[in-house]
Amino acid sequence: MKKIREYFRNTSLSTKIRISYLLLVIPLVLLLIVYIYMMQSSSRKYSEMISSAVLAGDFSLDFKKDFDYETYLVIVGNKTMEESDLNKMIDDADDIVDGLIKITEEGENLTRLKSVKKYLENLRKYESRIEKNLAAEDEYDANLEIWENDVQIVTDLIKEEIFRYVFYEIRDMQEQKAEMDLFYRRAMTGSIAALVVLTIMVIAFSVYLPKSFTRPITDLVDVTDRISKGDLGARSVNDSKDEVGVLSKSMNQMIEKINELLSQITKEQIRIREAELELLQSQINPHFLYNTLDTIIWLAEGGDQKRVVDMVKSLSAFFRTSLSRGRDIIPIREELLHAKSYLEIQQFRYQDILEYEIDVPDEFGEYTIPKITIQPLVENALYHGIKNKRGGGMITIRATQQDDDIVISVTDNGIGMTPERLSEVTEGLTGGTHFDNAIYGLYNVNERIKLKFGEKYGITLHSVYNEGSTCNILLPMQP
């Protein structure tokens, strides 16, 4: 076997094609043998079906004779109703009729079987009447009349209907068998003729086709070799309609797609870096810094040194986390510190309307998150939720485990969003048509998470107008 595999592996493509054609003939011959066997098997099955119909005829004769005699024995007192097999005989006959109904197509024979079902039900009624008469002990003549005028007539009808059923079934099956036999003979003749023609064609193709196969394949090999060496400008010039031509066209399309993907990847990397830079710069915007410094000056002039120190510490921690020594991925613990610093600074400015709570278990602290993910959501909750609602507001940051992932939620009890606005923002998260500055920060966060961890992850929004909003961040539990 090893020598055969070695020979076939080292032989030419033309020889392989010839061997393949010869191997094609062998399965066809086996298929023809199986086909002949199936025809013979089908013919045998039809014969068995006819035999089954004959057995049904025997059943009708036996049933009438046995049932009439068993009923007579009960009437004359040789057997009690409990000792007799009348119920069993009717049940067995009913089961056989049900089986025949399942395999009988719509038509007169099916009507006959349904009539037999009704006759069997009548026999049950007659049996019940006989049993009641026997209990009265003086109804012998009445029972004999039922047996002669009812039971025997109904069993005759059952016998007649079953005979007709068997007759028409046998007739139909014989007609079908004759048609199938004719079909099988024609199919066998056609198969043999097709096999002869196919064998001649295979022999002819094994001589003339190999060259037409090997030439375009050789050209295709040359193109793939150039591509493997980095020449993405190589193209196949084969424009035929056969399989090799289709393969050549597909390869050209693949090369074009590779070039497009390389260009897209380059642009995507540039876009990612620009988005990260914009997101970072948005956190160090002049207005935020100006307002914070202005608040510090106001506190210093008022002599509130402790609050000045606290606010400077929070501002220092905020910018320290924003820079994070150039890291893009940081522990959740540091990201929460960044969000907390931001909230502390804003609480100095909006102390009358802003409260916050951070409830994240310590065990989540060492898992990682893209830098500046939570703070933009907190800012969004403050400026678009809390500030737009009269009275004070609460921003809550929580985290829970969901299977092998973490869900960090930023919730506010601010003004919330109408269903229409929520739909716009949700569409904007995917880069849809509804896209404004208010959505851009959320979109940036969502894109960075998906680019880092995959399409499964990102942010989702839930909001009820006049009640508040919740933004959930789904992240993998990666240390």
pLDDT per position as a tens digit, 422-438: 988 888 887 665 556 66
Q: In total, how many domains does the chain have?
A: 2
Establish if 85 belongs to a structural domain: yes
Position 281 scores a pLDDT of 47
Identify the top-confidence range among 274-278, 318-322, 415-419, 448-452: 415-419
CATH number for position 462: 3.30.565.10
Which of 112-116, 196-200, 392-396 has maximum average pLDDT?
392-396
471 pLDDT more than 90: yes
Q: Give the end of a domain, one of 156, 180, 205.
A: 205
Mean pLDDT of the chain: 78
Tell me the per-residue pLDDT of 226-247, one tens digit each, with 9 for 90 and over: 877 777 777 777 666 666 667 7
Residues 25 and 167 in one domain: yes
Report d(CA 76, CA 232) in Å as an integer. Answer: 104
Q: Is residue 357 part of a domain?
A: yes
Q: Write down the pTM of the prediction.
A: 0.45
pLDDT, mean of residues 86-109: 80
Mean pLDDT of 72-81: 85
Identify the band that residue 284 occupies on the pLDDT scale cut at 50, 70 and 90: very low
Q: What percent of the chain is modeled with pLDDT above 70?
A: 73
Domain-embedded: residue 272: no
- The whole-number average pLDDT for the span 293-305 is 75
Report pLDDT for 41. 59
- Nearest partner of 349 among 292, 400, 303, judged by Cα: 292
Report the pLDDT value the prediction gives residue 358, as an integer from 0 to 100.
93
Q: Does residue 105 surpass a pLDDT of 80?
A: no
State how far the Cα of 338 lies from the Cα of 326, in Å rounded to an integer: 15
What are the Cα distances from residue 466, in Å, to 57, 393, 422, 424?
83, 12, 13, 18
Q: Which of 36-45, 237-246, 325-334 has the lowest mean pLDDT?
A: 36-45
Is residue 348's pLDDT more than 60?
A: yes
Among candidate residues 167, 189, 205, the one where a domain is terminated: 205
Task: Report if residue 236 sits inside a domain.
Answer: no
pLDDT of residue 168: 79
Q: What is the pLDDT of residue 22?
A: 66
- What is the model's pLDDT at position 34? 60
224, pLDDT greater than 50: yes
Between 288 and 350, the more confident residue is 350
Average pLDDT over residues 189-202: 74
146 or 301: which carries more pLDDT confidence? 146
% pLDDT > 90, the chain: 13
The more confident residue out of 240 and 334 is 334
How confident is the model at residue 139, as a pLDDT? 74
Q: How confident is the model at residue 316 (pLDDT cuts 50, 70, 90)?
A: confident
Residues 47 and 190 in one domain: yes
For 108, the domain range is 2-205
Radius of gyration of the chain (CA): 45
Query: Rounded CA gap, 41 and 183, in Å?
Result: 14
Where does a domain end: 154, 174, 205?
205
In a domain? residue 314: no
Average pLDDT of the residues in 48-72: 67
Lowest mean pLDDT among 189-203, 208-222, 346-360: 208-222
Query: What's the pLDDT score for residue 418?
Result: 92
pLDDT band with cut points at 50, 70 and 90 for residue 196: confident
The better pLDDT of the pair 71, 237 is held by: 71
